[in-house]
Structure 1
Amino acid sequence: MEESFRITDPQVLKAVSHPLRVRLLGLLRAEGPATASQLGRVVGESSGSTSYHLRELAKYGFIEEDPSPDGRERRWRARHLYTSWDNAQMSATPEGRESLTIMRARQLEFLGRATEQFDPGAWDPAWVTAAGMTDLLGNLPPAGLKEFFDRTDALLAELEERYAGDPAAEQIHLFVAGYPRKPEAS
């Protein structure tokens, strides 16, 4: 699997931002190859619906067929670990701005699902202590915020390498967001 898929076309970003497509792509990335029927059971959709959306994801290069062990099932796998785009490039057109708005909504929906699904009673106390969310307020120029994101990516890679093989390691959702804030009117 390749590391990243860089989107440069607002239509491609809009295509992947469909709620079911975002969810299917996320499942294939997190859980590995699956059939339309398997994914349909997980997301509560018919195999026909999931099959259509999987073909759309394949058409835009997000996923590809994965040979099944017995050769009878049509399985799909993600082609990339994550998707990225240039916000400035996307926001240069009305279509791009619309695509960014839709994708941010999908990202927030995913964040909501991930936090709602975390049940502290189902996890070891060490995970309950480590898990959570924070709300930080900083004062940075655009270059500083970009550096923050770059260093966050590097830190995650470093920690994954350090803890590779640790029996207590679990797949985690990690969300990092940063937007400039205008002061509220007094």
Structure 2
Amino acid sequence: MDRRQLTDPRALRAYAHPFRLTLIGLLRREGAMTATRAAELTGESVAGCSYHLRMLAKYGLAEQTGEGQGREKPWRATAPSTSWPGYTADPEVQEAATALSLAVVERYFTEATHWLENRYTEPPDWQEAAPLGDATIFVTAAELKELGEKVWDLLQPYARRTDSPELRLAAARRVSYVHFGHPAREFGTPARDDAEELHP
């Protein structure tokens, strides 16, 4: 399955719903499941899960497997990951893509907060292994894009274990690895060599 690219603002807005992000994550992580099973795992009603699964299917993000009947028909994700424009000249797409990005970042924050609040219940080696930090770097836009691609390439040998359990070591656990880079806000005097020329 290939990555699903979203460019339709309606699809972007539909996907930005927090519970639909949860459902897609479940389908990708656990495999095909019925609305009943999704309800058991999330605490949402079966009717609610059915509705949101249908909305995901409407925009090509989920589909039925063709097995079962009624609400006992299993659903699956149509792609292992989703992408959307980082830049677009279309203001409607830009607004919808921004809303989706914000929803995803909020989800990252919620998951990271849960980990930090509960990390001391984990084994010491996992507490030490989980990274937390940042770095300030000076790069061009092209270099930042290249850096992201290199990080993505480094992750691929581990990402392949998702669909190939035989590649996983006995001690391996599912890990959420988030990397995010953006131009930093500048406070006070710009840290540029030509600052005096720009601001006499």
TM-score of Structure 1 vs Structure 2, range by shorter chain: 0.7 to 0.9
Offset at 1:22?
A: 1.1
Distance in 1 (alpha carbons) for counterparts of 2:63 and 2:22? 16
Distance in 2 (alpha carbons) for counterparts of 1:166 and 1:134? 26
Listed as ranges, the gaps of 5+ residues in structure 2 are 190-200
Aligned to 1:117: 114
Structure 2 matches for 1:1-186, cutoff 5 A?
A: 2-68=1-67, 71-72=68-69, 73-89=72-88, 92-118=89-115, 119-160=118-159, 164-185=167-188
Distance in 2 (alpha carbons) for counterparts of 1:63 and 1:166? 30
SS in 2 for 1:34: coil
TM-score after normalising by structure 1:
0.87
SS in 1 for 2:111: helix
Distance in 1 (alpha carbons) for counterparts of 2:84 and 2:19? 20
Larger radius of gyration: 2
Seen in structure 2, the aligned counterparts of structure 1 residues 41 and 160 have a Cα distance that, compared at 3 Å, is closer
SS in 2 for 1:81: coil
Of residues 36-45 and 72-81 in structure 1, the stretch that sits farther from structure 2 once superposed is 36-45
Distance in 1 (alpha carbons) for counterparts of 2:36 and 2:160? 35
SS in 2 for 1:50: helix
Question: Contact (CA 8 Å) 2:85, 2:97: kept in 1 or not?
Answer: no
Identity percentage of aligned residues:
34
May I ask how many residue pairs the two structures share in their alignment? 181
TM-score after normalising by structure 2:
0.81
The Cα offsets for residues 35-69 of structure 1, whole Å up to 9 and x where unpaired, read as 2122223333211111111001011111111255x
Which protein has the bigger strand share? 1
Of residues 101-110 and 35-44 in structure 1, the stretch that sits farther from structure 2 once superposed is 35-44
